[in-house]
């Protein structure tokens, strides 16, 4: 296969999200094999526990697939789910075990779960802003477009964009501190 594992798996995921059932079956089959290898290395050849954990992870992936951010690496997202399922498994067993995370790189890309979670948090916070302010903040602060570019797209002066972005950020900050905040 000439595509990297990430590109191949992400392609299958995107096709499946667009309704391709065959791609979804291929994705789940491939992930099942990768997850089994990943979990066997951590749990040993335990048999039933390992298979159950693979199935739990695949079910979680299936149930959460609509939350997958197409702009993010798929394998980091899958890796985060597998890691949480493994930790839950250890908690259920009442064991306290250190799970080495270093060797996951051979199966998956680097874990960027924190980045994905941060992006989700930012998107939730931005959703509380009025649409126009939200788009101005996205342009200037997230996409790092110049104020002039954002102003031209919005049909506003640069000063008005700066003021709107400042007020939007101030409102977000106040909401995050629990102070309410205005929707300027």
What is the pTM (predicted TM-score) of this model?
Answer: 0.50
Rounded to 10 deg, the angle between the 113-126 and 158-176 helix axes is 110
Cα–chain-centroid distance for residue 144? 21
In order of start, what are the domains of the chain with their CATH numbers?
5-112 (1.10.1740.10), 128-176 (1.10.10)
Give 42-56 as a DSSP string.
HH-S-THHHHHHHHH
pLDDT digits (tens, 9 = 90+) for 35-70: 988 888 877 765 677 888 999 999 999 999 988 998
pLDDT digits (tens, 9 = 90+) for 106-154: 445 555 556 667 677 777 888 888 999 989 988 888 888 899 999 999 9
First to last CA, the chain: 52
């Amino acid at each position: 296969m000439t595509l990297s594992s990430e590109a191949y798996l992400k392609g299958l995921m995107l096709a499946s999200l667009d309704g391709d059932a065959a791609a979804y079956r291929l994705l789940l089959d491939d992930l099942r094999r990768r997850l089994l290898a990943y979990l066997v290395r951590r749990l040993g050849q335990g048999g039933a526990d390992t298979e159950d954990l693979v199935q739990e992870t695949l079910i979680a992936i299936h149930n959460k697939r609509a939350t997958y951010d197409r702009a993010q690496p798929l394998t980091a997202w899958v890796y985060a789910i597998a890691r949480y399922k493994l930790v839950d498994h250890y908690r259920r067993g009442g064991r306290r075990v250190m799970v080495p995370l270093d060797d996951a790189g051979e199966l998956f890309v680097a874990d960027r779960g924190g980045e994905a979670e941060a992006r989700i948090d930012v998107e939730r916070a931005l959703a509380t802003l009025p649409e126009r302010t939200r788009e101005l903040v996205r342009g200037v602060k997230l996409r790092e477009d110049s104020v002039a570019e954002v102003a031209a797209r919005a049909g506003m002066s640069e000063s008005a964009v700066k003021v709107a972005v400042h007020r939007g950020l101030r409102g977000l900050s106040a909401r995050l501190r629990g102070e309410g905040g205005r929707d300027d």
